[in-house]
Structure 1
Amino acid sequence: MSIQETMPKGGQFILEEADFQTIFTPEDFNEEQRMIARMTRDFIEGEVVPKAEEIEKLNYELTVKLLRQAGELGLLGADIPEVYGGAALDKISSSLIGENMVRGGSFSLSHGAHVGIGTLPIVFFGTPEQKAKYLPSLATGEKIAAYCLTEPSSGSDALSAKTTAVLNQAGTHYILNGTKQFITNAGFADIFIVYAKVDGEKFTAFIVEKDFLGVSTGPEEKKMGIKGSSTRPLILDNVEVPIENVLGEIGKGHKIAFNILNIGRYKLGIGAVGASKWAIELAAQYAKERKQFKTELANFPLIQNKLADMAIRTYVNESITYRTGGYLEAATQYLNLENYIFDEAAKAIEEHAIEYSIVKVFGSEALDFVADEGVQIHGGYGYISEYKIEQIYRDSRINRIFEGTNEVNRLLIPGTLLKRAMQGRLPLMEKLQTLQKELTGYIPSMDLSESTELLETESKMLESVKKLFLMVGGAAVQKYMQKIEQEQEILENLSNMMITIYALESALLRAKKTAARKGEAAAQMQIDMTRAYFQEVWGDLDKWAKEALAAISEGDTLRTQLSIVKKLMRMQPMNTFALKRSIAKRILEAGQYTTGVK
């Protein structure tokens, strides 16, 4: 039985209870992975941070030099097979490189665009000949890559691209014409992954070299943040691209584009984890150094509350992201990346598309929250560019737009779930039928009586809210059927519920796993953060469900549904003030983000 058959299917978390032993958590990092993280951090602190001001001024030469230094350390070839000059690391090691790169500011974006969406299309979808030609130089940084999907008239709607590719009379080259917009690394990239429509119809990927006649770039965009990264339009004017540079198959470029974006969404979440930890460290240190009313800011409960909220969001984000990283590693570890494996690669990456979108949405919004609170803790100084928290705040905003806007990803999450149910890939309809029978009978309120089992109350709450989601989702499907895609407000609420359920479950399973392995005392901070997060979002889940049901139903049907919601969403309030003071105390003692686990 293959790994793909034994691991959880994408979206399965909403239907079934997961076992904490089956998920990957940061506590599972091995020594080699930790060593890679330290090496990356040392490189950033030693080579990039001292030159950060110069990088922010768009010094291309310096950025390329640093990328090549990173290549010498193996930090560009983590995902490239050894036979093509790479390190062939596991996806968790690759993730740790990304998480620790973020302290390089804009440099981390140049790095991420190169090693991720720039290089991975060739890694996963290239022929052996294409890999042999391009990957060795991409692994060293001799050549820099860029990804070219967005156009002036098409952002999230990528398939409406107007760039064309026409085969010449000799049948040797495709002639490309069009403009790509907002291309990261465009100012110094050598290799461009370009999407165009063959004969104006067949969406196809091409490998385009900077030196091909007719390739040029427009002026640098003046951006709100990530100022040290190059962002330019790519202009293609009758560019002759050899037929051997077609990436994948004619008309199947969408499979490359969307699956590379899937991985990009995951890697964006990883970056958000690293940036959130950085912001917490800056805020905690400032709060301990700054005095107001003759006492340290760190002594004020409202400041402690902010630090705790920042830590809780980061813990949850870290939990969902590395859980998903475990799925990505399991799905791709047996792919023979030395060969041409188009269909196998597409299938493996696509399996957890729902989770990648969740990671992207949750991570980008968690980072925005953390960065905003970090600025607030700094007060007026947080608005001054001399303080790094100001840059983190500006740089974070693009993440909600990158890799498909959060609005588009929110529609994809429940939309993909329903599509897979229709395809028979997930037993959603069977689950809905079983639940409907259960809910038509007597529904006792959730039993929240004290239990001797760790986090049992939260486990019951999670089980209850999964039923709530299925009830609301089932009502929506039953009413709108195939037209449900037009009800975007309802889909957004369903998506918010799915995202939050995945977040709750990931935090809960991680705390349980840590407690089982290291003891409850060692896991206490994770337990506290999990409990606090359940309390924090419970009212949101209740609101999203009621809003959706009010749009779907009316009269007696709505009243019955709302009575079910009331029973499913019963909650015993907890003293979260005390929990958060305890969490903040540990953060301040450590002077940085910590889960208290050694």
Structure 2
Amino acid sequence: MSRTAARGAFYLIENTDPQNVFTPEDLSQEHQMIIETTRAFVEHEILPVQEQLEHQDWDLTVKLLRKAGDLGLLAADVPEAYDGLGADKATSALISEYLSRGGSFALSHGAHVGIGSLPIVFFGTEAQKQKYLPKLASGEWLSAYALTEPGSGSDALGAKTTATLSADGQYYILNGTKQFITNAGFADVFVVYAKIDGDKFSAFIVEKDFPGVSTGVEEKKMGIKASSTRQLILEDAKVPVENLLGEIGRGHVIAFNILNIGRYKLAVGAVGAMKAALEHAVVYGNSRKQFGKPITSFPLIQQKIAEMNTLAFVTESANYRATGDIDVSLESVDTSDGHAVADAIAEYALECSVLKVFGSEALDKVVDEGVQIFGGAGFIQDYGMERMYRDARINRIFEGTNEINRMLIPNTLLRKAMKGELPLLQKAQELQAELMQLTPPSGDWDTLERETYMLEMMKKIFLFVGGVAVQTYQTKLKDEQEALAAIADIAIQIYVLESAILRTKKAIAAGHDAENKIDMTVAFADKAYAAVEQTAKTLLASIAEGDMLRTQLSMLRKLTRVQPVNTVAIHRRIAQRVIAAEKYQA
């Protein structure tokens, strides 16, 4: 059966056929080969020298990136016409996931293949692609992305870097400072944003050897020490006019589209990091004995292991679902047309923000519990979990802070609704009459029927509280950030839970052993359902009071009448499987 791509954001108002969802169980032999290539590269090339990388040996980093280039690990997203692999997005996602097991070396790789190269892939002229992409695909040249400035982080369009056309019309003269630039210590090429004549936000391809280009000293960071982070300093930097990337004044189109890709790739990397942290913790827990037995035999440790494994599973399910939709969407466009490719990915901008927020916060939870399982040893550098903990923290800031992404989710929904692309308001209005006739569930459920019902109720809760917020605040809703964040959090939980349910149903239909998937889906459903109920209550209490609030809470109770299950027993089952295998179990 061929799959069809879901429309972006429609998961909130439509049901999805499990057979239309891409899951890790659908990976091809070619995908498995790239996994093995990446896994072997990490195991044999990165892990033996990880300490050296942590001490910022950039010559070694460059050497390893070029070895990755020899293996094709830098070329997945580069079209074949420019010596790339022209692979699907699932392939590039798998490379990102498995490289993340190599610590923050993965950031050097990710900055190069993603935000450092894709602007040229999507928006470069033919001459620019011919000049730069073959060298970027092989690793002969390495790239970086320079958007952030000392005075503009989330407010990217507030950048102060300027570009002025030279008197002879041959160069743009760039002046300004970019901050926190990954790969700056060794990059050959930078994608730089500057304002032409002080107001036309535009992008440029800047080589490190252009006159007036230099970098600052290495930043002293909390974590991700194996990646280079410096300022990029532009002092009357001479950039040939042919190195303007895209159109004058349209740099924001490049910046925002590239960030969409960066967000879902960050979430895929978080999956790999979660699995690595889980496995590290379980192996240690099996060997660490207290009171005469391994600490993994204690139920509270098992609960942590089960929840860590479950977070990795649901995040993985959501990531590869979105990756599959993007791949199907790209099949309908001319992949040589970078603008068309970027538009196809932008269709899933909301999902990319969902993945970024959930993935980064799930990873933080997993590494935090990993430190707890290690106990005092988790605080000691020699044991490795301490580095994982520090490295994870940046992900909630990278690619747009989680706060910004939480604002983007409802803003994207409202924009689609106002343009007639998503019948959100109509669905919210239809719900009002439906709520009056809603009857409580019977309580007799077949496999995953209960969780499917809970998902349906979560979607109704989203429409209900979202509709209340829109009616109450109207045009002022954009200023009510707490309400917007609550709406975003509900949308996030819905997407992740639905992805887990669909993946598990697809595995059951295919006759696979799905006991662990069922257990994890059931356990996560209970947690997600409770979180959505509490978020909805908090939002309603911030909007109304008195009789109005009591009426709204009464309506909400109709949507939250499901009896909980024994998640204690479920967590013990999940944990036993992981402990026995000493690795992530899907």
Specify the TM-score bucket, using the shorter chain as the normaliser: over 0.9
Tell me if structure 1 keeps the 8 A contact 2:454–2:529.
Answer: no
The whole-number CA distance in structure 1 between the counterparts of 2:338 and 2:386 is: 43
| Letter of the structure 2 residue corresponding to residue 570 of structure 1 | R
Structure 2 match to 1:183: 181
SS in 2 for 1:265: helix
Partners of 1:334 and 1:393 in 2: how far apart? 41
Does the 8 Å CA contact 2:148/2:178 hold for their aligned counterparts? yes
Secondary structure of the structure 1 residue equivalent to 2:149:
coil
What is the letter of the counterpart of residue 442 of structure 1?
A: Q
Indicate whether 1:581 and 2:575 are aligned.
no
Secondary structure in 2 aligned to 1:117?
coil
Residues 432-463 of structure 1: per-residue CA shift (max 9 Å, x gap):
12112223x33322x042133x2111111111
Does the alignment pair 1:554 with 2:545? yes
Deviations 1:469-494 (A, max 9, x none): 10100011111112101000011111
- The C-alpha deviation readout for 1:117-172, integer Å capped at 9, x for no partner, is 10111111111111000000001111000000000001111010011111122222
1:538 corresponds to? 529
Counterpart AA for 1:514? A
> C-alpha distance in 1, partners of 2:362/2:172?
44
Residues in 2 aligned to 1:97 and 1:540: alpha-carbon distance in whole angstroms? 33
Q: What per-residue deviation string (whole Å, max 9, x for no partner) do you get for residues 297-329 of structure 1?
A: 111111111100101111111011111111221
Moved more, 326-335 or 243-252: 326-335
User: Which residue, out of 486, 494, 517, partners 2:510?
Assistant: 517
Q: Deviations over 1:509-549 (max 9, x none)?
A: 11111000024xx0110000000011122222111101111
Q: Which residue of structure 2 lines up, in the alignment, with residue 390 of structure 1?
A: 386
The AA in structure 2 aligned to 1:466 is K
Q: How big is the shift at 1:255? A: 0.8
Question: 1:563 and 1:300 mapped to 2: Cα distance?
Answer: 41
Match of 1:451 among 415, 426, 445: 445
Paired residues of 2:334 and 2:341 also in contact (CA < 8 A): no
Match of 1:347 in 2: 343
Whether the aligned pair in 2 keeps the contact of 1:497 and 1:541 (CA below 8 Å) is yes
Structure-to-structure mapping, 1:72-87, within 5 angstroms = 72-87=70-85
The within-5 A match list for 1:364-383 is: 364-383=360-379
What per-residue deviation string (whole Å, max 9, x for no partner) do you get for residues 331-377 of structure 1?
A: 33454444xx3532332121000000011000000000000001100
Per-residue deviation at 1:7? 2.2
Q: Indicate the SS of the match to 1:496.
A: helix
- In structure 2, relative to structure 1, the CA distance for the partners of 1:342 and 1:115 (3 Å cut) is closer
| C-alpha distance 315-331 of structure 1, shift in aligned 2 (>3 A) | same
2:94 maps to 96
1:416 to 386, 395, 412: 412
In the comparison of the two structures, how many residue pairs are matched?
585
Task: Give per-residue Cα distances to partners, 1:24-74, cap 9 Å, x unaligned.
Answer: 111111111011001101011111111111111110100000100110111
| Structure-1 residue corresponding to 2:67 | 69
Secondary structure class of the residue paired with 2:154? coil
2-structure distance, mates of 1:336, 1:466: 35
Q: Is it true that 1:526 corresponds to 2:523 in the alignment?
A: no
Identical pairs, percent = 57
Q: Say if 2:334 and 2:340, in contact at 8 Å, map to a contact too.
A: no
Code of the aligned partner of 1:219 = V
> SS state of the match for residue 499, structure 1?
helix
Q: Secondary structure at the match of 2:204?
A: strand
**Structure 2 equivalent of residue 229 of structure 1:** 227
User: Within 5 Å, which residues of 2 pair with 1:71-220?
Assistant: 71-220=69-218
- Determine the C-alpha separation between the residues in 1 that align with 2:341 and 2:33: 29
- Give the Cα separation in 2 of the matches to 1:383 and 1:49: 20
1:280-359 aligned within 5 A: 280-338=278-336, 341-359=337-355
Is the Cα contact below 8 Å between 1:248 and 1:342 reproduced in 2?
Answer: no
- Aligned mates of 1:170, 1:66 — CA distance in 2: 42
User: Are 1:58 and 1:230, in contact at CA under 8 Å, matched by a contact in 2?
Assistant: yes
Correspondence for 2:466 among 452, 465, 473: 473
Deviation at 1:240, TM superposition (A): 1.5
Alignment counterpart, residue 437 of structure 2, candidates 438, 442, 450: 442
Distance 1:285 1:342, change over 3 A: closer
Maintained 8 Å contact 1:186/1:231: yes
RMSD over equivalenced CA pairs, Å: 1.3
Matched, 1:483 2:481: no
Match of 2:555 in 1: 564
| Whole-angstrom distance in 2 between the partners of 1:265 and 1:331 | 18
Deviation at 1:106, TM superposition (A): 1.9
- Residues 29-68 of structure 1: matches in 2 within 5 Å? 29-68=27-66
What TM-score results when the alignment is normalised by the length of structure 1?
0.96
8 Å CA contact retained: 1:411, 1:488? yes
Alpha-carbon distance in structure 2 between the residues aligned to 1:228 and 1:59: 8
Contact 2:5 2:326 (8 Å CA) reproduced: no
Partner SS, residue 510 of structure 2: helix
Q: So what's the TM-score if we normalise by structure 2? A: 0.98
Range that drifts further, 383-392 or 341-350: 341-350
**Which is worse superposed, 269-278 or 120-129?**
120-129
- Greater shift, 105-114 or 267-276, is seen at 105-114
Contact 1:123 1:337 in 2 (8 A): no
Q: Which moved more, 1:553-562 or 1:119-128?
A: 553-562
Structure 2 residue ranges without an equivalent (≥5): none
Q: In 2 relative to 1, CA 142–334 (structure 1 residues): closer, same or farther, beyond 3 Å?
A: farther
SS of residue paired to 1:474: helix
**More displaced stretch, 476-485 vs 148-157:** 476-485
Aligned residue identity for 1:366: A
Q: Unaligned regions of 5+ residues in structure 1, if any? A: none
Residues 1:289 and 1:552: Cα distance change in structure 2 (over 3 Å): same
Give, as a single letter, the amino acid of the residue that structure 2 aligns with 1:91: K
SS class of match (1:174): strand
Aligned equivalents of 1:300 and 1:479: distance in 2? 49
Amino acid in structure 1 at the alignment position of 2:501: L
Question: Partners of 1:537 and 1:155 in 2: how far apart?
Answer: 31
Which amino acid in the other structure matches residue 196 of structure 2? V
Distance (Å, rounded) in 2 between the aligned partners of 1:407 and 1:62: 36
Q: 2:472, 2:537 → 1: CA distance? A: 16
**Residues in 2 aligned to 1:489 and 1:437: alpha-carbon distance in whole angstroms:** 28
The code of the aligned residue for 2:310 comes to I
Q: Distance in 1 between matches of 2:12 and 2:547?
A: 28
One-letter amino acid of the counterpart of residue 56, structure 1:
E
Which shifted more, 547-556 or 294-303? 547-556
Tell me which residue corresponds to 1:498: 491
Partner Cα separation in structure 2 for residue 166 and residue 364 of structure 1: 39
- State whether residues 147 and 192 of structure 2, in contact with CA within 8 Å, keep that contact through their aligned partners in structure 1: yes
